[in-house]
């Protein structure tokens, strides 16, 4: 008898479950982080979440999750339910759409039944994907040649909650991992604490006390790029100066060094040709400056 193939969710392995109609049915599981919710499939009430339904006709459906708590916002997405496979949605509802997030696990068969792979798709694009401790990639990305079995991944992006899970990769299938990242609420400047560690957000984004305004630099002209042949993309920081989202530039790769100024998020800066643990160098006017690698990446 065929069995549903299920991903490993939140480090709990969900084994295969027998299905009533082995020829035509697909499955759907919805987990809502202990927030009881109503689940609708193409507008029709299915059941209260958390739920697992194994007798659904394969096809593409609209899934809507409506939390019972009226303070929490609903979520709607499209999923493809395939014969003999269980699609899993883990969702954490919140009071605003940007603060809500979760992961959708889908699977699709590959033409080469001896191969296995994992596809990562994130909202927003460009999230950092760490898979089994290998070199980090940027979503969207497909990782081929994966050995069947359990694997770990982590999705991170500055100013967003990270997602860290374990999945069970099955031979002959592509595991599709769709991640909607929940944005972290901004901390008011008045509540920010002084810098305490190199790895925290505060040292690189919170301005120092100074009597002179620090300059905010926009993207550098490409003429300087020939010096190193590389650019550094400045990622979102969720910190604003003079109405612009910015990242601090330091004189040395250290939180103890002087601040040269700020560069705008979502811009590219000319690389200084060096990178050190936790830092990327940029050309800040005519000086070599350093920005946190938590909020920048080489291009």
User: Distance between CA 273 and CA 277 in Å, rounded?
Assistant: 14
Q: May I ask the CATH architecture of the domain 198-298?
A: Roll (2.30)
pTM listed for this prediction: 0.59
List pLDDT tens digits, range 187-234.
444 334 444 333 334 434 444 444 445 555 554 444 444 444 689 999
pLDDT of residue 237: 78
Q: Are 83 and 20 in contact (CB under 8 A)?
A: no
User: Distance between CA 256 and CA 247 in Å, rounded?
Assistant: 16
pLDDT of residue 255: 79
pLDDT of residue 225: 42
pLDDT of residue 246: 86
Asked if residue 124 has a cis previous peptide bond (ω within 30° of 0), the answer is yes
**Strand (E) or helix (H) holding 272:** strand 268-276
Structure token digits, residue 111: 């033409």
Q: Which residues of the chain have pLDDT under 70?
A: 1-23, 186-229
pLDDT of residue 125: 84
- Give 8's Cβ-side CA count (13 Å radius): 16
Q: Are 146 and 122 in contact (CB under 8 A)?
A: no
Q: Which residues contact 228 (CB under 8 A, 6 or more apart)?
A: 270, 271, 272, 273
Q: How many residues does the chain have?
A: 299
User: Distance between CA 58 and CA 73 in Å, rounded?
Assistant: 28
| DSSP code, position 227 | G
User: Distance between CA 220 and CA 111 in Å, rounded?
Assistant: 46
Strand order from edge to edge, sheet including 117-123: 51-56, 26-31, 86-92, 101-109, 173-180, 117-123, 141-143
Q: What residue spans in the chain does CATH classification 2.30.30.40 cover?
A: 198-298
Beta strand 173-180 with 163-169: parallel, antiparallel or unpaired?
unpaired
């Amino acid at each position: 008898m065929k069995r549903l193939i299920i991903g490993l969710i939140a480090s709990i392995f969900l084994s295969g479950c027998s299905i009533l109609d082995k020829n035509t049915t697909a499955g759907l599981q919805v987990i809502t982080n202990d927030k009881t919710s109503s689940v609708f499939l193409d507008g029709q009430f299915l059941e209260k979440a958390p739920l697992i339904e194994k007798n659904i006709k394969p096809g593409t459906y609209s899934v809507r999750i409506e939390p019972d708590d009226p303070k929490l916002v609903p979520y709607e997405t499209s999923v493809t339910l395939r014969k003999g496979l269980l699609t899993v949605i883990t969702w954490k509802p919140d009071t605003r759409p940007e603060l809500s997030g979760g992961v959708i696990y889908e699977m699709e068969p590959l033409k080469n039944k001896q191969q296995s792979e994992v596809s990562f798709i994130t909202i927003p694009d460009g999230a950092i994907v760490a898979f089994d401790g290998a070199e980090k990639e940027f979503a969207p990305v497909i990782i081929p040649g994966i050995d069947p079995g359990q694997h770990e991944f982590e999705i991170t992006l500055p100013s967003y909650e990270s997602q860290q899970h374990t999945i069970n990769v099955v031979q002959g299938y592509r595991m599709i991992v769709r991640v909607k990242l929940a944005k972290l609420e901004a901390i008011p400047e008045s509540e920010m604490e002084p810098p305490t560690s190199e790895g925290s957000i505060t040292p690189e984004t919170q301005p120092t006390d100074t009597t002179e305004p620090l300059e905010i630099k926009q993207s550098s002209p490409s003429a300087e790029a020939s010096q190193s042949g590389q650019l550094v993309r400045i990622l979102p920081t969720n910190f604003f100066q003079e109405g612009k989202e910015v990242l601090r530039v330091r004189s040395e790769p250290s939180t103890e060094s002087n601040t040269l100024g700020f560069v705008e998020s979502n811009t590219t800066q000319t690389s200084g040709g060096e990178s050190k643990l936790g830092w990327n160098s940029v050309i800040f006017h005519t000086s070599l400056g350093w920005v946190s690698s938590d909020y920048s990446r080489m291009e």
